[in-house]
Amino acid sequence: MSVLDPAWTALLYLAAAVFFILALRGLSSPRTARRGNLVGALGALVAVVTVFLSARLENIPWILGAIAVGSAIAAPVARRVKMTQMPQLVALFNGVGGGAAALVALLELGHTGDPWVRLAIVFTLLVGAVSFAGSGVTFAKLQELMTTRPVVFPGLPVVMAAVLLAAVAAAVVVILTGSPVPAVLLLLLGLVAGVLLVLPVGGADVPIVISLLNAFTGLAVAASGVVLGNVLLVVAGTLVGASGTILTRAMAAAMGRSVAGILFGAFRGGSTAGSTAVSERPVRSSSPEDVAVLLGYAQRVIIVPGYGLAVAQGQHTAAELADALEARGIDVDFAIHPVAGRMPGHMNVLLAEANVPYESLKEMGEINPEFKTADVALVVGANDVVNPAAKTSSGSPIYGMPILEVAEARQVVFLKRSMRPGFAGIENDLLYQPQTSLLFGDAKDSLAQVLGAVKAL
C-alpha cells in the first residue's frame, strides 16, 4: 500500500519524533510523567501506522500476525509482573529491542554496496548483539537464576580483548566484501562480548548496567536508521542513546560509583575484596514483643525499607505499622535510599503501591541528619544501603556508595530473613554493634507480629 506521498510520510515521522521528545521531557517530572508515557505511545502508534501507509510492503498479513504475537506476549506479562520483578522485565524488553535491531541490520546487508552503510550495519550488529546478550545476563542475575556476585575468571581481560579484536576483524571484512558469513560471525562475537561485559558486574551495580545497555540499544536503533535511511529511527535511537547515557551517569552518581569503575572494577580484581569474609561473631536477636516495646515507647522512629520488604510483599504491613505508631503519637518517617529495591526510585513505586503518603517518604539527603534524633531505626530487609563499610572499608565493593546513616540512631533494629549478606555479597558490621538487635524471619511475618505486639501494648 502506498497511500501517502513522501512529504506526508516525512511530516508524520517528524510528528512522531516530536512526540518522543515530549515523552522524555514529560517523564522527567513527576507531575507530567504518566502523560509523557502516553504521548510516547501515541508517537509510536503514529509511526507504525505511517510505515504501513507509506512503504510498498509485501507480506502484510504475516507482519500483522507477528505484531499480534508480540503484543500477546508482552502486554499480559507487563500487566501482571510483580512490581518487585519489574527491573528484570525492563532488562528483558531492552534486550529483545537490541536483538531486533541486529536482525534488521543483518537482513539489510544484501541491499547495499555502500561501505558507509555497511559500517552502520556492523555497528548495529555488534551493539545490538551486546545489548541482547548483556541484558540476558542481567535478567539472570536479577531473577537470581545465577549468582549475583561478580563472576571473574583468570584471563578474562585477555579473552575479552581477543573477542573484540576478532569482532573488529570480522567487521572490516563485512565492510569490504558485504559477505554474510562474517556478519553472522560478528553477531555471535557480539553475543559473547555482551556476556563477558556483564558477568563481572556485582549484583548491586546491575541496574546501572541495564541503563547503559538501554543507551546501547538506542544507539543500535539509530544506526539501523542510517542503514534504512529512516530519519525517525535515527532521531528516536539517538534520543534514547543520549538520554540513556545521562541517566546512567546520574544513577551511578546516586550510588557513588563511576560507570568505568563498575564495568572494569572486577577486571582489576578490586571489586570482590572482602566479599567472602563470613564472621561467626555473636549477634543480639530479639522477639517481636521486644521490638514492639522499643518502637511503642519511642518518640521518633525511622523505617528503612529494603528489597527484602518488597520481596515479602510487606509494604502494606509496614504502612499499617507506621499508622499504628503514629496513632500513639510517635513521629514515623520512611527513609528511602536512592537505590533501595533494585533500581533508583524502585522503592518509591512499591511504597506508593501500598498507599504510604508522599510526605512520609524522605530521600537520603533529607533524612540522614535526622537519624541522630531518632530513637529507633527499623531496617526492614535492607542491608547494603545501611552498611557502614561503604564509608570505612576502602576494599569493599560498595566503598564510596552513599548510605543511610542508621548507626547514628539510638537503637537499630534489623528485620532480616537470615544472616546471609545482602545483594552485594558483603557482610554488614552494623549487625554486631551493641545498639543493634535483630528479629529473624520473613519481613512481612515479622512486621505483622510486631504490629500485633504494638497494638497490645
Partner 1 sequence: MDGMSLLTITVLAVFVGFEVVSKVSSTLHTPLMSGANAIHGIILVGAIIVAGQAAETWVLAVALLAVVLATINLVGGFVVTDRMLHMFHARKEVARAAAPKADGK
Hey, which residues does 335 pair with through a beta bridge? 362
State the minimum distance, in angstroms, from the CB of residue 131 to partner 1: 10
Phi/psi for 447 (5° steps) reads -60, -40
Q: Which three three-digit cell numbers place residue 18?
A: 516530536
Question: Among the candidate windows 51-59, 138-146, 321-329, 441-449, which touches partner 1 by CB under 8 A?
Answer: 51-59
Among 3, 5, 7, 30, interactor with partner 1 by CB under 8 A: 30
- Cα–Cα distance measured from residue 106 to residue 188, given in angstroms and rounded to the nearest whole number: 12
Instruction: State how far the Cα of 243 lies from the Cα of 234, in Å rounded to an integer.
Output: 14
Among 8, 11, 28, 287, binds partner 1 (CB under 8 A): 28
Residue 327 found at the interface with partner 1 (CB under 8 A): no
Please state, in angstroms and rounded to a whole number, the distance separating the CA atoms of residues 299 and 157.
54
138 contributes a contact to partner 1 by CB under 8 A = no
62 sits near partner 1 (criterion: CB under 8 A) = yes
Does the footprint of partner 1 cover residue 103 (CB under 8 A)?
yes
Q: Which helix (H) or strand (E) holds 301?
A: strand 300-305
Is there binding between residue 156 and partner 1 (CB under 8 A)?
no
Give the span between the Cα atoms of 221 and 302, in whole angstroms: 45
Question: Which of 259, 288, 229 is CA-nearest to residue 55?
Answer: 229
For partner 1, the binding residue among 126, 221, 404, 451 (CB under 8 A) is 221
Cα–chain center distance at 169: 33
Indicate whether 11 belongs to the interface with partner 1 (CB under 8 A). no
Tell me the HSE value of 221 on the side-chain side, using a 13 A CA sphere: 24
Stretch that binds partner 1, among 100-108, 143-151, 157-165, 304-312 (CB under 8 A): 100-108
- 52-77 burial, b at 16+ Cβ within 10 Å, e below that, comes to eebeeeeeeeeeeeeeeeeeeeeeee
Site string for partner 1, 72-91 (x = CB under 8 A): -xxx-xxx-x-x--xx-xx-
- Site membership for partner 1, residue 116 (CB under 8 A): yes
- Answer yes or no: are the C-beta atoms of 87 and 343 closer than 8 Å: yes
**Which positions from 249 through 268 interact with partner 1, judged by CB under 8 A?**
250-251, 254
Beta carbon nearer to partner 1, 36 or 308: 36
- Number of other residues whose CB lies within 10 A of the CB of residue 148: 19
List, in order, residues 6 or more apart from 365 with CB less than 8 Å away: none
CB of 166 to partner 1, least distance (A): 23
The yes or no reply on residue 69 touching partner 1 (CB under 8 A) is yes
Nearer to partner 1, 140 or 228 (CB): 228
Q: Decide if residue 199 touches partner 1 (CB under 8 A).
A: no
- 34 part of the interface to partner 1, by CB under 8 A: yes
Q: Does 53 bind partner 1 (CB under 8 A)?
A: no
Q: Which amino acid, residue 306?
A: G
Closest approach of partner 1 to the CB of residue 411, in Å: 28
Tell me which H or E stretch contains 206: helix 206-228
Unique residue bearing C-alpha cell 528503612: 304
Applying CB under 8 A, among 240, 266, 321, 424 the residue interacting with partner 1 is 240
Shortest distance, position 110 Cβ to partner 1, whole Å: 8
Asked if 310 is part of the footprint of partner 1 (rule: CB under 8 A), the reply reads no
Residues catalogued as catalytic: 384
Q: In what order do the strands lie in the sheet with 361-363?
A: 361-363, 331-336, 300-305, 376-380, 411-416, 436-440
Q: Exactly one of 12, 23, 170, 192 binds partner 1 (CB under 8 A); which one?
A: 23
> Does position 363 bind partner 1 by CB under 8 A?
yes
Of 235, 262, 292, 295, which lies in the binding site for partner 1, with binding defined by CB under 8 A?
235
- Per CB under 8 A, 273 contacts partner 1: no
- Strands (E) in 168-287, as ranges, are none
* Interface residue with partner 1, options 48, 146, 161, 457 (CB under 8 A): 48
Angle at alpha carbon of residue 26, lines to 24 and 32, rounded to 5°: 155
Q: Which stretch binds partner 1 (CB under 8 A): 107-115, 175-183, 323-331, 429-437?
A: 107-115
Q: Given the complex with partner 1, which of 235 and 401 has the nearer CB atom?
A: 235
Nearer to partner 1, 180 or 269 (CB): 180
Q: Are 339 and 254 a contacting pair, CB within 8 Å?
A: yes
Could you say which of 15, 21, 175, 273 contacts partner 1 (CB under 8 A)? 21
**Judged by CB, which is closer to partner 1: 308, or 341?**
341
Of the candidates 286, 267, 216, the one whose C-alpha atom is nearest the C-alpha of residue 244 is 216
